[in-house]
Amino acid sequence: MEKSTGLKKIKTVVFISGAGSNLKNLIKFSKKKKSPISINLIISNTNKAKGLKYANQFKIKKKIFNFKKKNTTEENIFLYLKKEKISFICLAGFMKVLSKNFIKKFDGKIINIHPSLLPKYKGLNTHERAIINKDKFSGCTVHYVNTKLDSGKIIMQKKVRILPKDTSLSLAKKILKKEHKLYPASIMKIFG
Ligand code: GRF
């Protein structure tokens, strides 16, 4: 990935499906002078994603793509991103799995945040699994997206201690706070 020159920010899209706290945090980060990226587009697979409100709040373009016909949808997304000159993709709570074909088109240009210390707990229900297994630590990972789920090269991780009183909800909250530090830090690491 080319380094940012500081003159022009890298046009970025954030894919969401839910609350969008990472999206909000990335938008705030992108507005800082030091940020190598600008957030120019928000994509969701559902109009129910609460995070879409940040598109209005921060006056960022949003697009909803229904994933019922995945291949056609991804082709449309690809064409749209090309048209908008977007060259970097951040997944933030995006609940659809992108196809190999799409990922290959953006090789090394898609990153994701995952709420576990990968390679542990790929997929869903990470906090429940960490608690059931009586792990002492969990955390979050920012990684490149490759064609295998939650398996791409790790960019950065942050650890969180799991206390005996923790529930999956309290753990999720603690980890989300760390995610908000880790995602911008990882982007700085990539383009720094
Ligand atoms: C985060 O925990 C993220 O790691 C996971 O989904 C959650 C999204 O939260 N992939 P938010 O929508 O950014 O608030």
In this predicted model, what pLDDT tens digit does every residue of 30-42 receive, in sequence order? 999 999 999 999 9
Q: CB burial class (10 A; 0-12, 13-18, 19+) of residue 147?
A: middle
- Alpha carbons 192 and 8: distance in angstroms, whole number: 14
* Cβ atoms of 43 and 14 closer than 8 Å: yes
Residue 139 Cβ < 6 Å to ligand 1:
no
Whether pLDDT at 44 is above 70: yes
Number of the ligand 1 atom closest to the C-alpha atom of 24: 13
* pTM, rounded to two decimals: 0.96
Whether pLDDT at 57 is above 90: yes
- Cβ neighbours around 81 below 10 Å, total: 21
- Alpha carbons 115 and 178: distance in angstroms, whole number: 10
Tell me the three state secondary structure of residue 150. Answer: coil
Q: Whose CA is nearest to atom 14 of ligand 1?
A: 21
Helix (H) or strand (E) holding 84, with range, is none
Q: Whose CA is nearest to atom 3 of ligand 1?
A: 93
pLDDT tens track for 158-171: 999 999 999 999 99
Q: What is the pLDDT of residue 50?
A: 98
Mutation pick for ligand 1 pocket among 14, 15, 16, 22 (CB with most ligand atoms within 8 Å): 22
Q: What is the pLDDT of residue 181?
A: 98
Ligand 1: distance of its center to the CA of 180 in Å?
Answer: 10
pLDDT tens track for 97-110: 999 999 999 999 99
Residue 179 Cβ < 6 Å to ligand 1:
yes
Q: What is the mean pLDDT of residues 41-55?
A: 98
Q: Which residues of 49-63 are buried (b: 16+ CB within 10 A; e: fewer)?
A: bebbebbeeeebebb
pLDDT bracket for residue 7 (50, 70, 90): low
- Alpha carbons 94 and 117: distance in angstroms, whole number: 18
Residue 22 Cβ < 6 Å to ligand 1:
yes
Q: What is the mean pLDDT of the chain?
A: 96
Nearest to 13 by CA among 67, 75, 130, 92: 92
Ligand 1: distance of its center to the CA of 7 in Å?
Answer: 30
